[in-house]
């Protein structure tokens, strides 16, 4: 047992991981294998260990519960309502993360009895205050699309400009002008031609691009 | 004594409070009255109580240590490096806050043996990782000036457009064109004339304005 002079809270990290699949924005959820909220879908996450920093905790929990590693991750917000967990006082540091569509081998383990992608439009009931956390992460993603290169984190290693435009259109829920989009995205000087092309049906082959510095998200305004 | 099956961290909140005085951006600091870092300047802040939420904790600590209440406050970021506090594992949820120049009666108490405003250009040595927290808050303030009405939080109840422009120029460290600034700021439709004027020396009297919804920070892009 561990003893303290004053009551101490627990700290968890939770991860809101988005990807784009089947032309839809998807959220990664795990089905809880233990109480509270056993059997309910929830964000992957769990208790921070006393000797790990916050981001390490988030990455460890994501890897343990879902099998996903090496994604782009940013701290979102810390949620600390007094009654947000029925067990004890738990403050959670939420992260949001973006995965490319080719980064996906799911494997449920530890506290998760299942793991799956959910369409953002048809989310199931979520445990704790996770609905609120997801809403904030979604808002941040939409805002950040406008002033950063965060969308590149959704792209596979090589992609066409049409595929990149699809990602923006899916998240923003609006059609963009093809010519303006191309001009704008190339002017950012964040992607380069690979020298290869992609053939799709009867269309003219499209140039394949790659992100110049894939690990970085640039602020562009 | 309080007992737990697993080791628990402590949570603190720390507050980065800015104001503008004497045409300079100022930061509020307290001199620590107890160990660790006794006698060193630090951000106001302290341990979250087990039955209060995070923002309440930040407001309580700010009021207790400095006498300041009712300021605009936003969560900034949570800092959790394993060794950031020599006592025990402490994760701190940092807030940044803005005070108007007429909101200022300082009164040091509880853990603070002194409280004062410091020019951002000549900060003293700070306790813990507070230098890093201040740097992030400053960056956020500069960024937010560009896409929100956060600067209004620095203004007294009534102000002239010149005084408002001064605030932008002080934070951005650049001169702005008077005519363009006025056009831009009025087009936001966030301030209104009070009907009163202010006389300064031999100048023509200047119209006094007020913020229409003083409690709110609008995103303007």
Q: Taking the domains of chain B in order of start, what are their residue ranges? A: 10-147, 150-211
List pLDDT tens digits, range A119-173. 999 999 999 999 999 999 999 999 999 889 999 999 999 999 999 999 999 999 9
φ and ψ of A212, to 5 deg: -65, -45
Give this prediction's pTM.
0.94
List pLDDT tens digits, range B141-190. 999 998 899 999 999 999 999 999 999 999 999 999 999 999 999 999 99
Inspect the interface and report whether the beta carbons of A2 and B1 lie closer than 8 Å: no
Domain A10-146 class in CATH: alpha beta
Q: Determine the Cα–Cα distance for residues A40 and A132; give it in Å rounded to an integer.
A: 16
State residue A9's pLDDT score: 98
The rounded mean pLDDT for chain B is 93
To which H or E segment does residue B185 belong? helix B178-187
Residues of A within 8 A of B75 (CB-CB) are: 77-78
Half-sphere exposure of B107 (CA within 13 A, CB side): 7
State residue B93's pLDDT score: 98
* Mutation for B interface: A74, A91, A139, most B CBs within 10 A: A91
Cβ-contact A4, B5 below 8 angstroms:
no
Sorting pLDDT into bands at 50, 70 and 90, what band is B90?
Answer: very high
Cβ-contact A89, A10 below 8 angstroms:
yes
Residues of B within 8 A of A3 (CB-CB) are: 1-3
Contacts by residues B167-174 (CB-CB < 8 Å, ≥ 24 positions apart): B167/B20, B170/B20, B170/B23, B170/B24, B170/B25, B171/B20, B171/B25, B171/B141, B171/B142, B171/B145, B172/B142, B172/B145
- CA angle, residues A132, A136, A140, in degrees to nearest 5: 170
Inspect the interface and report whether the beta carbons of A75 and B75 lie closer than 8 Å: no
Q: Determine the Cα–Cα distance for residues A75 and A98; give it in Å rounded to an integer.
A: 12
Sorting pLDDT into bands at 50, 70 and 90, what band is B89?
Answer: very high
pLDDT > 80? residue B105: no
State residue B79's pLDDT score: 98
Cβ-contact B97, B66 below 8 angstroms:
no
Query: What is the pLDDT averaged over residues A25-38?
Result: 95
B152: its two tokens: 């209004």
Residues of B within 8 A of A9 (CB-CB) are: 8-9, 11, 48, 50
Residues 6+ apart with CB under 8 A from B165: B176, B178, B181, B182, B185
CATH superfamily of the B10-147 domain: Nucleoside Triphosphate Pyrophosphohydrolase (3.90.79.10)
Query: Which residue among B1, B77, B81 places its CB closest to the CB of A75?
Result: B77
Q: Does B4 touch chain A (CB under 8 A)?
A: yes
Inspect the interface and report whether the beta carbons of B75 and A77 lie closer than 8 Å: yes
State residue A52's pLDDT score: 98
Query: What is the pLDDT averaged over residues B60-78?
Result: 95
**Chain B residue with the nearest C-alpha to that of A81:** B53
List pLDDT tens digits, range B39-53. 999 999 999 999 999
Sorting pLDDT into bands at 50, 70 and 90, what band is B56?
Answer: very high
Q: Determine the Cα–Cα distance for residues B84 and B88; give it in Å rounded to an integer.
A: 9
State residue A103's pLDDT score: 63
Q: Determine the Cα–Cα distance for residues B39 and B35; give it in Å rounded to an integer.
A: 8
Q: Does B47 touch chain A (CB under 8 A)?
A: yes
ipTM value of the model?
0.93
List pLDDT tens digits, range A84-116. 999 999 999 999 999 987 667 788 777 788 999
State residue A199's pLDDT score: 87
Considering only residues 92 to 111 of chain B, which have any Cβ-Cβ distance to chain A shorter than 8 Å? Answer: 93
Residue B207 vs residue A102, higher pLDDT: B207
A5 burial level (CB within 10 Å; 0-12, 13-18, 19+): exposed
Q: Does B3 touch chain A (CB under 8 A)?
A: yes
**Chain B residue with the nearest C-alpha to that of A55:** B80
Q: What percent of chain B has pLDDT over 70?
A: 98
Q: Does B142 touch chain A (CB under 8 A)?
A: no
Q: Does A208 touch chain B (CB under 8 A)?
A: no
Q: Does B139 touch chain A (CB under 8 A)?
A: no
Question: What is the pairing mode between strands A72-79 and A90-98?
Answer: antiparallel
Residues of B within 8 A of A147 (CB-CB) are: 147
- Among residues B79, B81, B94, the alpha carbon closest in space to that of B137 is found at B94
Residues of A within 8 A of B8 (CB-CB) are: 2, 4, 8-10, 50
Cβ-contact B98, B155 below 8 angstroms:
no
Sorting pLDDT into bands at 50, 70 and 90, what band is B111?
Answer: confident
Cβ-contact A45, A32 below 8 angstroms:
no
List pLDDT tens digits, range A195-221. 999 987 778 899 999 999 988 888 887
Domain B150-211 class in CATH: mainly alpha
The phi-psi region of residue A111 (left if phi > 0; otherwise alpha if psi is between -120 and 50; otherwise beta) is: alpha
State residue B103's pLDDT score: 62
Cβ-contact A28, A96 below 8 angstroms:
no
State residue B116's pLDDT score: 93
Dump strand ranges (E) for B54-188: 72-79, 90-98, 112-119
In our burial notation (b when 16+ CB lie closer than 10 A, e otherwise), range A6-27 reads: eebbbbbbbbbbbbbeeeebbb
Q: Does A48 touch chain B (CB under 8 A)?
A: yes
φ and ψ of A31, to 5 deg: -90, 125
């Amino acid at each position: 047992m561990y003893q303290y002079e004053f009551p101490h809270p627990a700290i968890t990290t939770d991860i809101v991981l988005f990807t784009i699949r089947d032309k839809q924005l998807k959220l990664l959820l795990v089905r809880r294998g233990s109480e509270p909220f056993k059997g309910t879908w929830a964000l992957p996450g769990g208790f921070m260990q006393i000797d790990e920093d916050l981001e390490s905790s988030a990455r460890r929990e994501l890897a343990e519960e879902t099998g996903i590693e090496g994604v782009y991750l940013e701290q979102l917000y810390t949620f600390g309502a007094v009654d947000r967990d029925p067990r004890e006082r738990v403050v959670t540091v939420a992260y949001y993360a973006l995965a490319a569509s080719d980064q996906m081998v799911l494997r449920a383990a530890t506290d998760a009895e299942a793991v799956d992608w959910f369409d953002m439009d048809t989310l199931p009931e979520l445990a704790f205050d996770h609905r609120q956390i997801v809403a904030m992460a979604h808002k941040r993603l939409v805002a950040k699309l406008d002033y950063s290169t965060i969308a590149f984190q959704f792209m596979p290693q090589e992609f066409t400009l049409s595929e990149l435009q699809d990602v923006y259109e899916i998240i923003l829920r609006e059609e963009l002008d093809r010519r303006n989009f191309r001009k704008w995205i190339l002017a950012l000087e964040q992607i380069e031609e690979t020298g290869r092309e992609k053939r799709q049906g009867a269309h003219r082959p499209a140039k394949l691009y790659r992100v110049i510095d894939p690990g970085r998200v640039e602020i562009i305004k």
